[in-house]
Structure 1
Amino acid sequence: MLLKSLPVFFVACAGGSLFSLSHIPLPWTLGPMVAAVLWKTWLKKPVYWPKKMRNIGMLVLGYVMGSPFTPETGRQIIGQLPAMLAVTLLIIAVCLTTSYLAGRATGIGLANSLIGGMPGGLSQMAMICEETKGTDVSVVTIMQTIRLLTVVFTVPFVALHGIAGKTSAVKPQAAPITIQDIPLLCVFFVAIICAISFIKYIRFPSPYVIGPVLGTAALTLAGIHAPVLPPPVIAAAQIFVGIKMGLDLEVTRLSNWRTIALSSFASVITAIFLLLGAAYLLSLLSSIPLITVFISMAPGGMSEMALTAMIANADLSTVVAYQLFRLLFILVVAIPTARWWLTRNEHNLCSSTGIQK
């Protein structure tokens, strides 16, 4: 079966190389994603890419995201918990408000607007659709996909070309990995697998996103040094994830998908720049650089924003902490609350849903 994946892998590598040579942000994620979409469109048939490959990529990226955590950064993050809660509530409020306005313009209904604008995981939002009457999985999928793509393309561009030049962050020089680091990497690998297994056991969503971060962070917070992975390994992990993102992209299941996509794009762009203004104010009130605050508040995927932080020399541990806190808050608090409210009001919401299939 892996032989079937080789063509799209080589195409993705070419896409990543092209994006890298063109100095496009997140080249080894966005390049493979775009290449996979074009490859699937050109073939006009399903393209095979194992989910296990995506999970391996997330395992590597989760290790990278969790490795900057130290006892000192842990103490700093604990002190920022009230700010994290306030920022998370602000992000949710801004995203839901802009998506509500987009929903009014397209007539997709309040339920679809609410779930489609929630800055959480696409799969979790689709799960709520399946359990709530008056919602449409295709509409929500389009809105969530547009949100992720808009953030993934816009935030790195603004961060690298609009903000990064105004910061004085210095990228640390990482020591190359040696043969002596192999046993230590095995220890981290075991910790990550244990964390993933535990999260899957308690049936908590996104184990391959949260597990690697928590497993690695637990060891680094305990004072164990995390060896730095070679850049080609990190690039390969991004390729694995980018291919899956591209192949999962489907936006043509509705006749009015263009209208929904355009209104969703406008709402996400509005949300991004509103949050940029809020990030500027927060950076003035705190000692956190603007670029770190902005990426921390971006309503995108945790792995993509962490990679953006790495490239922009932002504080990776702070970005991951804020993004992880928001993800956990949405999964634990916001989604159950939305499910309860939508179920309670599903009779009224059903009559307000206007979707053209």
Structure 2
Amino acid sequence: MRLKPFHVVFSLLLALAGAWLCVWIGTPLPWMIGPLLATACAAIAGAPTANWRPLNNTGQWVIGTALGLYFTPQVTALVGSLWWAIALAIVWALGLGLAFGGWLHRVNAPRMPGVPAPAMRATSYFAGAIGGASEMTLLAERAHARTDLVAASHSLRLLLVTVTIPFAMQFSGLHGLDLNPPVLRAVSGPGLAALALATAAGAWLMLRLGRANPWFMGPLLVTMGLTMASLHLSGIPPWLTNTAQLLIAVGLGVRFSPTFLHAAPRWMASVVLGTLVMLVLCSGFAALLAWATGLPLATLILGTSPGGIAEMAITAKVLQLGVPVVTAFQVCRLVAVLILVAPLYRWLYKAD
């Protein structure tokens, strides 16, 4: 389908209105939650919403760059000392995703007789895996699964996690690990331009290598490297990070469609229930890690939650809940899941 500029502009204006409304109301993460809910509701209602991919990539680029600025040598040493906790979180995520996928299969397979057993098994497995939506959908397609159900499951999970956790954090009064060096507030025009060029090169390299989330991971790694070397070019203006949140939210919100609520309602209800249970279980796991590490519970809840990197890191940044720790947990988990989830599927089900 050809992308229509009017639909993109309409979506952006709608997202901006949602952001302003949430700022006025005083919700947490107004520049993420407002645009996300506004565009998702409009898309489900059949409004002409659309996302222009370069805008979403730009949002990922800005957020990846902003997060990398937190990784000073001192912070990096702290994160490095938590390697064992990050490893446990990876094992936890793989096991939780496997259990979630198994539960989805058990509840839904008997009621989908038209879907072949191997396809249903693959659909449930990749829908339950705690990884990126686009990557899991691609792996599901290679396994001949129902990619529409897989994509819908991940979109719904991200929506629920992105909306639920910030409100829970704000109203619970939990505090995180606020590592916010003063240098982050110093914005330099020439330095910002140099930082943009360096991070753009990082994104280009990740694209050439075919890596996942290149517009996020490339800038993040470049900025991390500069910050760890104590090279501080510039901070990121708040208006720019707010705009980036809006662009990322639009990219997620327009994934929904008028048929979303009517397609396999039992499957979607299972995803909602399973996601809420996972949030509770992850909070319990985070509490154990908090006891073992001495880190704030709020920081570890974000680090181990079944959400996306950008969404959880933005939550940590805006609410000052320990950006480097959250980012490290989420990035390491994403990389591990992307590497291990397909071989694990082949090993468990003897698939080719």
Same fold (TM over 0.5): yes
Q: Which residue of the other structure, out of 58, 70, 73, is the alignment partner of 2:72?
A: 70
CA distance in 2, matches of 1:287, 1:81: 14
Offset of residue 318 of structure 1:
0.8
How many Å separate the matches in 2 of 1:50 and 1:164?
A: 36
Check the 8 A contact 1:163/1:290 in 2, yes or no: no
- Find the aligned partners of 1:284 and 1:193 in 2 and give their Cα distance: 40
SS at match of 2:126: helix
Amino-acid identity (%): 25
The correspondence for 1:97, drawn from 99, 104, 111, is: 99
Task: Sort the Cα spacing of 1:66 and 1:170 in 2 relative to 1 into closer, same or farther, 3 A.
Answer: closer
What are the ranges of 5 or more consecutive residues in structure 1 without an aligned counterpart? 347-357
Please give the secondary structure, in 1, of the residue aligned with 2:174.
helix
Mapped to 1, the partners of 2:149 and 2:317 lie a distance apart of 33
State how far apart, in whole Å, the 2-side matches of 1:226 and 1:300 are: 30
Q: CA shift at 1:177, angstroms?
A: 4.4
Matched, 1:118 2:129: yes
> Aligned pair in 2 of structure 1 residues 131, 191: CA closer, same or farther (>3 Å)?
same
What is the distance in 2 between the residues matched to 1:254 and 1:158?
A: 25
Instruction: Select which of 17, 22, 39 maps to 1:19.
Output: 22
CA contact (8 A) 1:116 1:143 kept: yes
Q: Give the direction of change, closer, same or farther, for the CA distance of 1:209–1:342 in structure 2 (3 Å limit).
A: farther
How far 1:176 moved relative to its partner? 5.0
Kindly tell me: are residues 176 and 98 of structure 1, through their superposed partners in 2, closer, same or farther at Cα, counting changes over 3 Å? closer
How far off is 1:271 after superposition?
1.0
Alignment of 1:206-221 (within 5 A): 206-221=213-228
Aligned Cα RMSD in Å?
2.4
With normalisation by structure 1, the TM-score equals 0.87
Q: Is the 8 A contact 1:159 1:295 kept in 2?
A: no
Amino acid at match of 1:207: P
Correspondence 1:275 to 2:277: no
The one of 286, 303, 306 equivalent to 2:313 is: 306
TM-score (norm 2): 0.88
Residue 170 of structure 2 corresponds to residue 160 of structure 1: yes
Rounded Cα–Cα distance in structure 2 between residues aligned with 1:256 and 1:3:
27
The runs of 5 or more residues in structure 2 that have no matched partner are 113-119
Q: Deviations over 1:277-324 (max 9, x none)?
A: 111111111121111111110111111101111233211111111111
2:220 and 2:128 mapped to 1: Cα distance?
25
Shift of 1:170: 8.5
**Aligned equivalents of 2:252 and 2:209: distance in 1?**
26
Of the three residues 35, 40, 50, the one matched with 2:38 is 35
Deviation at 1:4, TM superposition (A): 5.3
